[in-house]
């Protein structure tokens, strides 16, 4: 079975290229005079349309899982994962848990070492939540997710979810209950294989005490490139978020 995620070569004189993600159907056709028609249908309705122009005999279009930040429009930079159920950690202890988060699907026009996002869509309705107070809180993409201490215990839904590995270090002298984590996602490049997706490297969460107050630092190391996808990000970065409104 052909993998849907990856790089797809569309030739100018071939039959129209079609690929379907449930109710989302992508059709790329043409090539006459170097013009290719890109259309995405949601059911029977035309949801997105553009024209790709090239003087080459074929074009490359990349379709990849991406961080869930762009649909219906860009309103958040972080993902709010609420664990269901919450879990308990001993004082001064470390743990690794696996969970999952929503993804979106990005369509890119790719050329050599550059790319341009031409379309993005999601297969599930988006949910958002406010982390913190109404005055100074952070709007996040929201999802409830179960957890497991083994990767096999988590079943992420293809084309809709990605697996997340979370390393937690409790440096507090108390037993704690962890019910949520805020994950910074802007600029994160998801990995994929056999149409499964995951956050590369995972997420580091450290609970500590500073000036008599519990502090939770969340860190994600972004990834610049992977073998089948270029990136407009030119350097590696470490994304961080400080959870100061409870965990």
Find the mean pLDDT for residues 29-55: 91
Find the mean pLDDT for residues 212-218: 81
Q: Is the pLDDT reported for residue 162 higher than 60?
A: yes
What's the predicted TM-score (pTM) here?
Answer: 0.90
Q: Which of 4-18, 123-137, 229-243 has the highest mean pLDDT?
A: 123-137
Structural contact between residues 172 and 209, judged by C-beta atoms closer than 8 angstroms: yes
In the prediction, which pLDDT does 237 show?
A: 65
Q: Is the pLDDT reported for residue 119 higher than 90?
A: yes
List the beta strands (DSSP E) in the chain. 6-11, 17-21, 24-30, 35-42, 45-53, 58-66, 78-89, 93-102, 104-111, 114-121, 128-131, 138-145, 161-170, 176-184, 191-193, 196-198, 203-210, 213-221, 238-243
> DSSP of 68-131, one letter per residue?
S-SSSS---SEEEEEEEEEEEE-TTEEEEEEEEEE-EEEEEEEETTEEEEEEEE-SS---EEEE
Q: Which of 36-40, 56-60, 126-130, 179-183 has the lowest mean pLDDT?
A: 56-60
In the prediction, which pLDDT does 30 show?
A: 80
What confidence tens digit (pLDDT) does each residue in 181-190 have? 999 998 898 9
Domain assignments of the chain as residue spans, ordered by start: 67-243
Instruction: Name the nearest CA neighbour of 131 among 78, 175, 93, 191.
Output: 78
Task: Count the Cβ atoms, other than its own, within 10 Å of residue 77.
Answer: 18
Residue 43: pLDDT band with limits 50, 70, 90: very high
Find the mean pLDDT for residues 67-91: 92
């Amino acid at each position: 079975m052909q993998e849907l995620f990856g790089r797809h070569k569309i030739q100018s004189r071939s039959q129209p290229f079609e690929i379907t993600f449930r109710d989302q159907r992508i059709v790329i056709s043409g090539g006459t005079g170097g013009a290719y028609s890109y259309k995405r249908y949601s059911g029977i309705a035309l949801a997105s349309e553009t024209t790709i122009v090239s003087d080459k005999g074929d074009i490359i279009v990349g379709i990849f899982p991406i961080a869930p930040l762009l649909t219906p429009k860009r309103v958040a930079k972080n993902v709010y994962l609420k664990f269901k159920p919450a879990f308990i950690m001993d004082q001064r202890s470390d743990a690794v848990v696996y969970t999952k988060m929503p993804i979106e699907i990005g369509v890119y026009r790719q050329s050599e070492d550059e790319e341009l996002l031409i379309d993005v869509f999601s297969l599930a309705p988006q949910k958002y939540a406010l982390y913190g107070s109404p005055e100074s809180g952070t709007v996040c993409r929201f999802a409830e997710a179960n957890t497991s201490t083994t990767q096999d215990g988590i079943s992420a839904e293809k084309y809709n979810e990605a697996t997340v590995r979370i390393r937690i270090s409790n440096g507090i002298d108390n037993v704690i209950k962890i019910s949520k984590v805020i994950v910074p996602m802007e600029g994160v490049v998801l990995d994929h294989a056999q149409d499964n997706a995951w956050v590369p490297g995972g997420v580091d969460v450290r609970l500590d005490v500073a000036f008599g107050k519990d502090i939770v630092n969340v860190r994600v190391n972004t990834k610049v490139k992977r073998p089948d996808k270029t990136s407009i990000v030119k350097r590696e970065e470490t994304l961080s978020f400080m959870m100061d409104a409870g965990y």
